[in-house]
Structure 1
């Protein structure tokens, strides 16, 4: 009666993320992995994870690249999606840019098809779709088009499963908090989100005006340790929670 959809985002965005997510999958707590087709390390992620039958894989729809020094762009040819890229051919950093610079929705759908095809070619069986930085919030009509596209592809829509755990972002840094939160929750289906990555200079090179790269790398490394710890899964069991996949979950 108590279930927890456990998801790790940004797979394929870096080697650090790939390694951390593989460790978390081995530990048994993470059951859903969202893969960025626009990331530089899709093939490496596929070698580490794609054959696993215990993990539900999703497409982490990516239309933005938030860091100053680590950038990514479209899977499509840049000339095919000009409203999605900056002068250097990368995705724009902040999705709010779309508020004043509306992208062509048909270009977004073309890019989504390209991203889904790339993940399939790499060997991933994609079951659900979620979005990186939620750019759909800033483009009128895009949420409806995304819902239509996801349904057309026969995939699970992430929007129907958000009942996020309280204080989700603090579990890795505050000892004992995860168990305290789970212990006071009643029956139901809840959602847990994470962005793990092992500490590396690769991660420390990320960052922007709002996020310090070194702090980001340290924080994501703490998340990686939390997800890989056997204590995390043991806490779920003590509190009567079972981590589940999206394809086991019930839309809310």
Structure 2
């Protein structure tokens, strides 16, 4: 193994406005993922709280805040609640396929509808089709776009209603970014269904975890991640099971 793969160089961004907590600033530490050992490096970094974006692995490194906590679902121990079982049943007709990480106009159009409805004015709202292609296709690791399509009357795959850019790691699936039809008249909860499908997909593949990115206790838009138990959080002493009283408090 070459020295650059064993000893990656890390850099720190300048502080900027925090997207989760008003009045806070964020700073990130990052390193480049490239070369023949990119998968191994990405796996190792994900276990200590890094996330991937294109060919970069990053994690928060804020000066005065530790609110962002890495979380992962223990896939083979997940038992859906009655409401989650209903959601799985309601969407079991969807045709799900793992596609190579190649962007399409159909995916981009769906992303735009999703962003306009769910995250207007967010950091990705100005993303054009080339930006989207860069996000999907510039992956130095084993990645897929998981597509969710409604069936045509003849049973073939029809309209795209959901998608997720997903990395397959040595110990699980990492959901890099998911999006879905935001105003579907009959399929509420598509985002939750996509997460549960990933949990089931990981369990079938005997992969222990599904990485959900960061959880911020004080951010209401992050609380959906608490629905997927058992959940593990990354703390100063490593990963530990989520405890409602200790970790969530009065959220």
**Higher RCO (CA < 8 A, seq sep 6+):** 1
Higher strand share: 2
TM-score for the superposition, normalised by structure 2: 0.27
TM-score for the superposition, normalised by structure 1: 0.27
Higher helix share: 1
